[in-house]
């Protein structure tokens, strides 16, 4: 099943991160790197980490709303993945497998942390102030756009943290990270219908929490 | 579905804000080096349980644990089913008749063996025979099991005999 145009739009990477991202490797090169890493080549694994570090970090960060936690969990996920590489048979793509490890680790962490939510948000990239979609959300209300956006960021993160982990994950992977329903189903190990229903419910919840900003 | 997408368009514009949240500048420059360093040091692998490994390898196990956590009723019914299985297996094992396969001679066989031995004999004959069998028994390296007679006392073939003051004179 294909994604809607808005889904496709969501797949566009973060504008701020695009410049620092290493050149993507093709599937064959990645397979070669994985095979070398399976044989214990840390240089090859370093390259794999560079390829996926931003997306893995971002997924964990958006799930936890805490930079320090995301840093620890992302590193642990990569370490865990390296030690589990021998069990990777290539049945799924490497990044789906990696995502699954990171997501499992994050959900376990969030369950242990329970309701003790402490946000440690990253700063907004200065380009956010020039994004017409975001400007439209705040410019009517305040003369200081950056402060308004920061306030909006806090409200949005607080609303996200009110969602259950599976619902939050569906929103993060689809609406923030830009993964397709099919890819999310593989990462979450459920069927596409479940992904769609979780996404729909999560958006409904978020819309209710953020209703005053969405008028 | 399109209606739904249109309804959530404003929300998706708002969620774009999340993509502008960036870690401190230069953060990713050192990230992979730190990961490799942690791998060389041994990393957190040791402190992690086997459960996490199983969750990655067998996602159904995680779903089962998730169901237990989300719905205690599921955990209770699973526990009850396990208990019922144990109890029913105990009951079954006690009701079914156990017929052991005998490797040792039965009591009737032993009686027959004794009957052969239980012929009248003189004290001297019986003592000599008993001593021989005792010597054979103590010299044997076979495992100690119940002898054919059923009891060690049977080896001596002691049988009550009338006591007489007269010794039979040679014939």
Structure tokens at A135: 């400007």
Question: Cα(A90)–Cα(A85) distance, rounded to whole angstroms?
Answer: 10
Q: How many beta-carbon pairs under 8 angstroms link A with B?
A: 152
Kindly determine whether residue B10 and residue A214, on different chains, have CB atoms separated by under 8 Å: yes
DSSP H or E stretch at residue A123: strand A123-124
Cα of A67 vs its chain's centroid, Å: 13
Distance from CA of A113 to the nearest CA of B (A): 15
Cα of B78 vs its chain's centroid, Å: 22
Kindly determine whether residue B19 and residue A14, on different chains, have CB atoms separated by under 8 Å: yes
Question: Mutation test of the interface with chain B: which of A107, A175, A191, choosing the one with the most B Cβ atoms within 10 A?
Answer: A175
* % of chain A at pLDDT higher than 70: 84
Q: What is the pTM of this model?
A: 0.64
Residue B120 pLDDT: 54
- Written in H, E and C, the secondary structure of A49-84 is HHHHHHHHHHHHHHHHCEHHHHHHHHHHHHHHHHHH
Question: Mutation test of the interface with chain A: which of B16, B52, B60, choosing the one with the most A Cβ atoms within 10 A?
Answer: B16
Dihedral pair phi/psi, residue A33, rounded to 5°: -65, -40
Kindly determine whether residue A124 and residue B22, on different chains, have CB atoms separated by under 8 Å: yes
* % of chain B at pLDDT higher than 70: 41
Contacts of A176 in chain B (CB under 8 A): 15, 18-19
Q: Say if residue A12's pLDDT is above 50.
A: no
Contacts of A84 in chain B (CB under 8 A): 53, 56
Q: Which of A32-41, A129-138, B41-50, B58-67 has the lowest mean pLDDT?
A: B41-50
Residue A42 pLDDT: 94
Kindly determine whether residue B55 and residue A104, on different chains, have CB atoms separated by under 8 Å: yes
Q: Say if residue B167's pLDDT is above 50.
A: yes
ipTM of the complex: 0.80
Q: Is A94 in CB contact (< 8 Å) with chain B?
A: no
pLDDT in tens, A67-79: 999 999 999 999 9
Contacts of B29 in chain A (CB under 8 A): 20
Question: Mutation test of the interface with chain A: which of B9, B18, B57, choosing the one with the most A Cβ atoms within 10 A?
Answer: B18
Q: Which of A25-34, B60-69, B134-143 has the lowest mean pLDDT?
A: B134-143
pLDDT in tens, A108-141: 899 887 656 688 888 888 788 888 888 777 765 5
Closest partner residue to B20 among A127, A137, A210, by Cβ? A127
Q: Is A156 in CB contact (< 8 Å) with chain B?
A: yes
Contacts of B67 in chain A (CB under 8 A): none
Question: Cα(B16)–Cα(B11) distance, rounded to whole angstroms?
Answer: 9
Specify the residue for token string 């982990």: A165
DSSP H or E stretch at residue B21: strand B21-22
Contacts of A128 in chain B (CB under 8 A): 17, 20
Contacts of A98 in chain B (CB under 8 A): none
Contacts of B32 in chain A (CB under 8 A): 46, 49-50, 53
Residue pair A171/A160 in contact (Cβ under 8 Å)? The answer is: yes
Q: How far is CA A189 from CA A64, A104, A181, in A?
A: 21, 11, 12
Q: Quick one: which of A50, A49, A69 has its CA closest to A61?
A: A69
């Amino acid at each position: 099943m294909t994604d809607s145009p808005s889904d496709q739009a969501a797949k566009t990477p973060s504008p701020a991160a695009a410049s620092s991202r290493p050149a993507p490797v093709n599937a064959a090169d990645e397979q070669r790197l994985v095979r070398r890493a399976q044989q214990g080549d840390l240089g090859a694994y370093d390259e794999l980490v560079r390829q996926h570090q931003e997306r893995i970090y971002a997924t964990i960060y958006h799930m936890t709303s805490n930079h320090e936690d995301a840093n620890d969990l992302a590193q642990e996920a990569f370490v865990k993945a390296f030690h589990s590489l021998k069990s990777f048979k290539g049945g799924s793509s490497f990044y789906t497998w990696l995502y699954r490890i990171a997501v499992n680790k994050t959900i376990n962490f969030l369950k242990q942390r329970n309701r003790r939510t402490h946000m440690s948000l990253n700063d907004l990239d200065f380009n956010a102030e020039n994004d017409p979609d975001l400007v439209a959300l705040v410019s009517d209300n305040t003369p200081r756009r950056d402060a308004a956006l920061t306030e909006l960021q806090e409200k949005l993160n607080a609303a996200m943290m009110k969602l259950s982990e599976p619902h939050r994950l569906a929103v993060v992977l689809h609406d923030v990270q830009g993964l397709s329903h099919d890819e999310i189903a593989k990462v979450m190990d459920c069927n596409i219908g479940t992904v769609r229903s979780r996404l729909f419910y999560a958006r409904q919840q978020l819309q209710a929490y953020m209703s005053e900003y969405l008028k | 579905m399109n209606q739904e997408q249109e309804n959530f368009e404003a929300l998706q514009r708002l969620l774009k804000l999340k993509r502008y949240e960036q870690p401190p500048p230069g953060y990713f420059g050192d990230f992979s080096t730190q990961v490799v360093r942690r791998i060389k040091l041994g990393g957190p692998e040791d402190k992690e349980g086997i459960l996490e490994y199983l969750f990655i390898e067998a996602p159904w196990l995680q779903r089962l644990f998730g169901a237990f956590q989300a719905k205690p009723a599921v955990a209770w019914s699973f526990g009850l089913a396990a208990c019922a299985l144990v109890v029913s297996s105990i009951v079954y094992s006690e009701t079914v008749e156990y017929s052991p396969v005998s490797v040792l001679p039965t009591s009737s066989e032993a009686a027959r063996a004794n009957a052969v031995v239980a012929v009248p004999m003189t004290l001297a004959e019986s003592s000599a025979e008993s001593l021989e069998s005792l010597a054979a028994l103590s010299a044997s390296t076979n495992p100690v099991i119940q002898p054919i007679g059923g009891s060690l006392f049977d080896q001596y073939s002691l049988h009550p005999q009338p006591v007489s003051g007269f010794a039979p004179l040679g014939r």
